[in-house]
């Protein structure tokens, strides 16, 4: 039995595509109707939601979900070209800063941590929801998780990759970055593990490794599907897909071991993720700086990170729905479920805001209250976006109609992340600019170099994501299929009830 | 000389493949590890083949990988953050060479990192991956076909098994040599 026998199959993947996926809405593959795989007894009866609703037949489902990967439009190339241009200007700004030194950034005494560090914290925060949400939903067996896991996990990996750049950009002397690696040098100088910055370096690298592994292991069965499709189409992707799929065949033994491994990874990631943002918060909290030196910072950062990350997942899901015509895979139901999750997190987040404010206001310690006053006077609009965004989120997400409105959800989640970026900025900059003795007090404005690099980081994130979509399946196909396998309709009186089998 | 022969039968329905597995197993006295089901989704253990016992043995040992690797990570963390402090002490703010908080943080992260590596190793070891050799497989499995794969030790048995599979509803049969 040769592989050639296996691979010579026709590839007919003509299903509808979004503006970046290729194809037009007109050339839809005639897929069998939903009812065709359902029990005829319950046909027409209203069943509960399940991923089975998108699963007309397996081949059609594979074609549809793999389409963003295999078919590319000119718009996609134009889009990535624009991203490339933005990244290029950021790279030029970075080279300029490296050549002339950190003076090109707006940093000066006492504000030695500025927009770079705020952006670093933002990206680390953004990385949080992906794997945390994925782990929690896997462990709790939430059925609605299935199609969205991949996109969320990829977001974690890419935002961490972007975040990891900022400490390197911030230190200026990039060529000395290896000092962080535990290599015994001539001076017998090892990394200083007593510094929270070194803990941060360890934690971020562990999280990056864990997230990448989690993403890859989750991809494994879908890589095999994509491999078979690429071979059948004679597509160039077959070369790397063959290698990365590791020879996966979908044997029962493979599935059984794979599920167990996914479970281990979900538990471990759930232990890593909160520790990472806690350690990031300790970069600040372990100093004696008023406004930073507080016990609340660990959980405060973790909740803020999840809040920011879940919002970004919603934004991303809506973008994927529209651009790649995945509306029947990433459905309004999923956005609604994520919206409810976001509502709960925004309430917890607002509670943290309240706790932070009330303790400072009531104790009225001069050095801490001065910072609050400075924030209110110097950054009033920032504060409005930051606090208003949080209150608005609770109000808006309480309404089912709002959660069902995709443009509204898109706008709100973007606003949340704007607020969260500002929140990171407000933690770093105002506190440093009102630090210690009044004669040191000063103001800080990000320079054009900093702004160029920060804008480029956003383009870099989107670019990584856009490339990922073209190289790997963006929908967690294996999980969706498993959801279909273990669910079915059962008649209960006049109704059909969707049930799910659990071992 | 051929070591073994394989037959891969493709089925469209779970009910059909479930009925085909047991008769073939009994007719050729196929051992637990010599019969497999290829699917595009994870089916509950025992849903198609009664191989729960074999898989239970694997699963009960699989957890040892992350567990033992986690121990290794713990040792690595303590050595790196604490041990190097003793060997090459860098005096910072009057802190002791071995400090609990940094060692604890680094050890925690390393324990989990090694746990992640152990989990992946457990998958690779027990699932027999990576395996890029040509093995009995059909790409239709990706598109929803259910494959019943049997390992046999004579060409006569291979022929008989293929015929049995056809009789039990297989719509496609593939035979191979040394590709289980």
Per-position DSSP letters for B128-152, written without gaps between them: T----S--S--GGGTTT-EEEEEEE
Q: For the CA atoms of A44, A46, A49, A50, what is the dihedral angle to 10 degrees?
A: -40
Count of CB atoms situated within 10 Å of the CB of A438: 8
Q: What stretches in chain B show pLDDT beneath 50? A: none
- Of A210, A254, A482, which is closest to B127 when you measure between CB atoms? A254
H or E stretch at A418: helix A406-433
Residue B7 DSSP SS3: strand
Tell me the β-bridge partners of B60: none
Question: Between 1.20.1630.10, 3.40.50.970, 3.40.50.300, 1.10.3720.10, what CATH number should domain A3-500 receive?
Answer: 1.20.1630.10
CA distances from A188 to A177, B81, B139, B171 (A): 17, 15, 56, 69
Optimal mutation site among B32, B74, B76, B123, interface A, most CBs of chain A within 10 A: B123
- The residues near B114 (Cβ < 8 Å, ≥ 6 apart) are B69, B70, B72, B73, B74, B76
Pairing of strands B146-152, B35-38: antiparallel
Residues in chain A with CB shorter than 8 Å from the CB of B89 are none
CB contact under 8 A, A253 and B126: yes
Digit-coded pLDDT (tens) for A259-275: 899 999 999 999 998 89
Long-range contacts of A362-366 (CB under 8 A, 24+ apart): A365/A290
- H-helix or E-strand spanning residue A458: helix A448-471
B175: nearest Cα among B149, B142, B145: B149
Question: CA of B64, closest CA in chain A: separation in Å?
Answer: 11
Extract the residue ranges of chain A whose pLDDT is less than 50: 1-52
Report the residue of chain A nearest B49, measured CA to CA.
A252
Could you tell me which chain A residue has the CA closest to the CA of B177? Answer: A1
Asked if the C-beta of A187 comes within 8 angstroms of chain B's C-beta atoms, the answer is no
3-state secondary structure of B36: strand
Q: In chain A, what are the domain boundaries?
A: 3-500
A268 vs B: CB within 8 A: yes
Report the alpha-carbon distance of residue A175 to residue A179 in Å, rounded.
Answer: 9
CA distances from B85 to A25, A82, A439, A496 (A): 64, 49, 39, 66
* Residues forming a β-bridge with B151: B6
Q: What is the crossing angle of helices A366-378 and A380-397, to 10°?
A: 80
SS3 label, residue A497? strand
Q: Distance (Å) from the C-alpha of residue A222 to the closest C-alpha of chain B?
A: 9
Minimal C-alpha gap between A491 and chain B (Å): 20
- Fold for the domain defined by B5-59+135-177: Alpha-Beta Plaits (3.30.70)
Q: Please, which residues have CB within 8 angstroms of residue A25's CB and are 6 or more apart in sequence?
A: A16, A325
Q: A487: helix, coil or strand?
A: strand
Please tell me the predicted confidence (pLDDT) of residue A312: 92
What tokens appear for A435 in the block? Answer: 């630090």
Q: What angle do CA B115, B117, B121 make, to 5 degrees?
A: 115
Residue A421: the pLDDT is 92
Answer yes or no: do A251 and B66 touch at CB < 8 A.
no
ipTM beyond cut 0.85: yes
User: Phi and psi dihedrals of B13, rounded to 5?
Assistant: -120, 150
Q: Give the span between the Cα atoms of B135 and A376, in whole angstroms.
A: 68
Backbone angles phi, psi at A41, to 5 degrees: -60, -35
Enumerate the domain spans of chain B: 5-59+135-177, 62-127
Q: How many CB pairs under 8 A join A and B?
A: 210
Cα angle for residues A264, A238, A209 (degrees, 5° grid)? 30
Please state, in angstroms and rounded to a whole number, the distance separating the CA atoms of residues A349 and A369.
21
Measured CA to CA, the distance from residue A63 to residue A41 in angstroms comes to 29
Hey, are the CB atoms on A1 and B49 less than 8 Å from each other?
no
């Amino acid at each position: 039995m040769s592989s050639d026998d296996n691979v010579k199959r026709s590839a007919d993947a003509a299903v509808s595509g979004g503006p970046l996926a290729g194809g037009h809405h007109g050339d839809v593959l005639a897929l069998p109707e939903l009812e065709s795989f359902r029990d005829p007894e319950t046909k027409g009866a209203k069943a509960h939601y399940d991923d089975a609703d998108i699963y007309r037949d397996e081949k059609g489902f594979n074609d549809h979900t793999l389409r963003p990967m295999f078919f590319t439009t000119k718009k996609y190339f134009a889009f990535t070209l624009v991203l490339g241009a933005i990244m290029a200007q950021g790279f030029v700004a970075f080279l300029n800063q490296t050549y002339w030194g950190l003076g090109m950034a707006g940093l000066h005494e006492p504000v030695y941590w500025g927009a770079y560090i705020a952006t670093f914290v933002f990206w680390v925060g953004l990385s949080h929801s992906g794997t945390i949400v994925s782990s929690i939903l896997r462990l709790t067996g939430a059925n609605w998780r299935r199609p969205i896991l991949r996109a969320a996990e990829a977001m974690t990996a890419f935002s961490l990759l972007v975040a990891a750049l900022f400490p390197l950009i911030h230190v200026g002397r990039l060529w000395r970055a290896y000092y962080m690696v535990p290599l015994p040098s001539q001076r017998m100088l090892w990394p200083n593990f007593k510094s929270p910055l070194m803990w941060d370096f360890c934690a971020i690298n562990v999280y990056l490794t864990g997230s990448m592994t989690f993403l890859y292991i989750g991809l494994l069965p879908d890589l095999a599907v994509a491999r078979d499709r690429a071979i059948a189409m004679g597509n160039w992707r077959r070369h790397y897909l063959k290698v990365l799929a590791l020879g996966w065949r979908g044997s029962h033994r493979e599935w059984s071991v794979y599920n167990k491994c996914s479970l281990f990874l979900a538990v471990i990631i759930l232990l890593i993720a909160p520790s990472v943002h806690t350690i990031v918060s300790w970069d600040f909290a372990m100093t004696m700086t008023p406004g930073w030196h507080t016990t609340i910072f660990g959980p405060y950062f973790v909740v803020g990170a999840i809040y920011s990350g879940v919002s970004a997942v919603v934004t991303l899901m809506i973008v994927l729905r529209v651009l790649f015509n995945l509306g029947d895979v990433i459905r309004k139901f999923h956005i609604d479920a994520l919206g409810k999750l976001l509502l709960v997190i925004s309430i917890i987040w607002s509670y943290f805001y309240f706790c932070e404010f009330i303790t400072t206001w009531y104790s009225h310690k001069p050095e801490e209250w001065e910072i609050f006053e400075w924030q209110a006077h110097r950054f009033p609009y920032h504060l409005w976006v930051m606090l208003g965004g949080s209150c608005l989120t609770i109000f808006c997400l309480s309404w089912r109609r709002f959660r069902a409105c995709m443009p509204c959800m898109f706008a709100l989640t973007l606003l949340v992340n704007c607020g969260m970026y500002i929140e990171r900025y407000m933690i770093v900059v105002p506190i440093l600019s009102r630090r210690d003795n009044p004669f040191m007090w000063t103001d800080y404005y990000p320079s054009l170099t900093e702004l160029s690099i920060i804008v480029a980081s956003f383009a870099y994130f989107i670019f990584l994501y856009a490339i990922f979509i073209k190289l790997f399946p963006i929908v967690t196909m294996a999980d969706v299929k498993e959801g279909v396998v273990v669910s079915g309709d059962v008649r209960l009186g006049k109704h059909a009830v969707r049930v799910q089998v659990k071992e | 000389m051929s070591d073994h022969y394989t037959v891969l039968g493709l089925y469209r329905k779970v009910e059909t493949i479930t009925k085909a597995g047991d008769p073939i197993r009994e007719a050729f006295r196929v051992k637990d590890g010599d019969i497999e089901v290829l699917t595009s989704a994870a089916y509950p253990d025992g849903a198609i083949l009664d191989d729960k016992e074999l898989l239970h043995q694997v699963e009960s040992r699989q957890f040892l990988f992350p567990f033992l690797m986690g121990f290794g990570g713990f040792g690595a963390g303590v050595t790196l953050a604490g041990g190097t402090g003793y060997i090459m002490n860098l005096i910072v703010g009057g802190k002791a060479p071995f400090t609990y908080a940094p060692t604890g943080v680094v050890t925690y992260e390393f324990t989990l990192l090694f746990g992640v590596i152990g989990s992946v190793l457990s998958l690779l070891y027990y699932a027999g991956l990576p395996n890029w050799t040509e093995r009995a497989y059909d790409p239709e499995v990706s598109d929803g076909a259910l494959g019943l794969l049997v390992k046999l030790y004579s060409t006569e048995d291979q022929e008989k098994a293929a015929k049995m599979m056809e009789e039990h509803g297989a719509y496609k049969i593939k035979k191979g040599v040394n590709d289980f």
